[in-house]
Chains A and B, each alone.
Chain A
Amino acid sequence: MAHPPSSTSDQTCGHCQQGDEENDSSRRDFLTLAAGAMAGVGTIVTAYPLIQSMNPAADVLAMATTEVDLSAVKEGQSLTVVWRGKPVFIRNRTQAEIDEARAVPMNDLKDPQTDQARVANSKFGGKDLPEWLVMVGVCTHLGCVPLGQKPTDPHGEFDGWFCPCHGSQYDSSGRIRKGPAPKNLEIPPYQFTDATHIKIG
């Protein structure tokens, strides 16, 4: 301690203030600065691999693509498959559901997106297959799995999916219509490998 305590009754922070006069040469100034900079850079460079190590490891990143056979899924039925440890909802929609989804005005949507855009990847050999809706079955609010895959499940007010955690409701295109979720159910990358098989991922 350079400063002996002046008096015990001193309640101000006088001894916190720095009053040292600078008498260093500019050369030493530069050296000190350079040393400090080197130490700083070294610390940051060392921290980088530590922080980076917490990101997904190579085996986790090498997410196996999932191939799904859709031939058993009849109109009006759904299938849940696992991709990257998350459920993926695949639904063979009825014409009524498709019409309902396409009739919704964009102004009613919280996260505006046409139904056509959501099933843009559902095509094979130049033929559109709008009945196939493929999306990640994870609520965009806080990550719960919405209900609506089974016929006995609640489907919410919009004939789609209903999240039991905080009551978010998705329509028959998987778009958020009501409740706290901010976004539509996510569409994973997928493509039809033939008329009845898709590859997710």
Chain B
Amino acid sequence: MAQGERVNFKNPVICWIDERLPLFSMMHKEYAAFPTPKNFNYLWNFGALSLFMLVTMIVTGVFLAMYYTPSTDHAFNSVERIMRDVNWGWLIRYIHMNGASMFFIVVYVHIFRGMYYGSYKYPRELLWILGVIILLLMMATAFMGYVLPWGQMSFWGATVITNLFSAIPLVGNKIVTWLWGGFSVDNPTLNRFYALHYLLPFVIFGVSFLHVAALHISGSNNPLGIDVKSPKDTVPFHPYYTAKDCFGLTIFLIFFAVIIFFLPNYLGDPDNYIPANPMVTPTHIVPEWYFLPFYAILRSFTIDIHIPFTHVVLISSKLGGVILMFGAVLLMFFLPWLDRSPVRSAVFRPLYRKFFWIFVATSITLGWVGSRPPEGLPVIIGQIATAYYFVHFLIILPMLPKYEKTLPLPNSISEAVLKGR
């Protein structure tokens, strides 16, 4: 990557290392001198914040792992021991527990930012796909991590979600038994979830590296969505964006600290402070907030589709819900090809801008529906919102370029900045 363009470092030790392994030259090229559009707004902080959260989760997780016991008999009490007896254990555990929520907040903002400014379009399609892979890995990691404290919600959440695979025709039940390592969620399940929960963050780290590498090939998008045309459009990453990211980080940390120290259980479910009991189902099983929109989509499919004029069920409501839910995530992979408008940023796409905000509202509505019991009005609202979710991706986005009159693009970033845009 950086060979041939080594920087002359004054420090003899750094210079000596760099001559043999040009790590510092690479860092200089990719993080210090790296030309970055000068017109980022604060939404561009959320990539750096995601990386910060990933590191925070790995570090706190390693320390928790020193005390956690992955066994159905001891898991719950070992977590309580961390909370009560381990020095500062409560702090590390609350950081990790709420860190998952923070990670998802930051990543969801990052994703919506990418959607608003068209960051998934050429030449950044692969960058976007790597991001969706990271999201999927995060979901798997968060799901398995939530099982570890072995509370009621841990157990029943794991039961409900792993049972989704039983919807697969023919081999479904075999797959579920294989996932469980038994005939119900039990000790083997807890053990393998722990093993994978420890492994996957490092996979996320690897994919994040590729995500950043791809970003450094194409360069960053920017709020105007137009390409960088001259050096006047950019500033070196350091000190401009290191300073801006660090300032954003301190503001984010204030928000994070308020949650950790004053509302640590606000985002959690009280039922998870009851030890897991396979014989008693909680009256209302809800996943953590960051899964609620997908949970709502899962439950929105309430009818069986029959082969016409027979009683043979072609797609049961269960299988239908599972297909919809996975479809909702997988659809994101195809976003770069569903939206073919040549203009990236919603700033110059008046129609898309409106539909973007309707989509955001739909996602939040789905989250609300996911938190309600599946009866009455929320079911209908959930079905409408689910339908709209798919209409947005499959109909509105492909059709928009035909009807939308985009606004004139500025000639360059520097010109727009001078005009005070």
Q: Which residues of A contact B (CB under 8 A)?
A: 51, 54-57, 60, 63, 80, 82, 84-87, 107, 110, 112, 141-145, 163-167, 180-182
Q: Known A141-B318, A182-B318; judge A84-B160 contact (CB<8 A).
A: no
**Contact B374–A166 (Cβ < 8 Å):** yes
Q: Does B192 contact A (CB under 8 A)?
A: yes
Q: How far is A86 from B182 in the complex, measured between Cα atoms in Å?
A: 11
- Is A142 in contact with B304, judged by CB distance below 8 angstroms? no
Q: Is the CB of A85 within 8 A of B278?
A: yes
In the bound complex, how far is the Cα of B282 from the Cα of A85, in angstroms? 18
Contact present for A82 and B279 (CB under 8 Å): yes
Contact B182 A56 (CB under 8 A): yes
> What would 8 more interface pairs be, CB under 8 Å, given A56-B188, A144-B160?
A60-B182, A85-B278, A110-B313, A142-B160, A142-B164, A145-B279, A182-B304, A182-B317
Chain A residue contacts of B317, Cβ below 8 A: 180, 182
Q: Determine the chain B residues whose CB is within 8 A of the CB of A181 once the complex forms.
A: 318
Residues 172-194 of chain B: 1 if any A CB is under 8 Å from the residue's CB, otherwise 0? 00000111111110101000100
Q: CA of A55 to CA of B192 in the docked complex: distance in angstroms? A: 11
| B314-334 interface with A by 8 A CB criterion | 316-319, 321
A153 CB, nearest partner CB in chain B, Å: 12
> Which residues of chain A come closer than 8 Å to B164, judged between CB atoms?
142
Residues of chain B within 8 A (CB-CB) of A112 are: 311
Can you list 10 residue pairs at the A/B interface with Cβ under 8 Å? Answer: A54-B178, A55-B181, A56-B183, A57-B181, A107-B311, A142-B318, A144-B281, A164-B282, A182-B313, A182-B318
Q: Is the CB of A84 within 8 A of B183?
A: yes
How distant is the Cα of A54 from the Cα of B192 in the complex, in angstroms?
9
Chain A proximity of B3: nearest CB distance (Å): 13
Are A85 and B182 interface neighbours, CB within 8 A?
Answer: yes
Residues of chain A within 8 A (CB-CB) of B184 are 84-86, 143
CB of B279 within 8 A of CB of A87, answer: yes
Interface of chain B residues 123 through 161 with chain A (CB within 8 A) = 156, 159-160
Chain A residues, Cβ within 8 Å of B316: 182
Interface 1/0s, chain B 184-228, versus A by CB < 8 A?
A: 101010001000000000000000000000000000000000000
Interface centre among B182, B280, B374, B375, by most chain A C-beta atoms within 10 angstroms, is: B182
Q: What 9 A-B pairs have minimum CB-CB distances, sorted nearest first? A: A182-B316, A144-B281, A142-B160, A143-B163, A85-B184, A84-B183, A143-B159, A142-B163, A145-B281
Q: In the complex where A82-B279, A143-B160, A165-B281 touch, is A55 in contact with B177 (Cβ < 8 A)?
A: yes
Which of B160, B278, B302 is close to A165, meaning CB atoms less than 8 Å apart?
B160
* A134 CB, nearest partner CB in chain B, Å: 17
Residues facing A in B333-377 (CB within 8 A) are 373-375
**Chain B's nearest CB lies how many Å from the CB of A156?**
13
Output the nearest chain B residue to A145 by Cβ-Cβ distance: B281
With contacts A54-B178, A87-B279, A110-B304 known, is A164 near B183, CB below 8 A? no
A107 to chain B, nearest CB (A): 8
Tell me the bound Cα distance from A182 to B299 in angstroms: 14
Can you name the residue of chain B whose Cβ is closest to the Cβ of A56? Answer: B182
Residue B81 at the chain A interface, CB threshold 8 Å: no
User: From residue B187, how far is it (CB to closest CB) to chain A in Å?
Assistant: 9
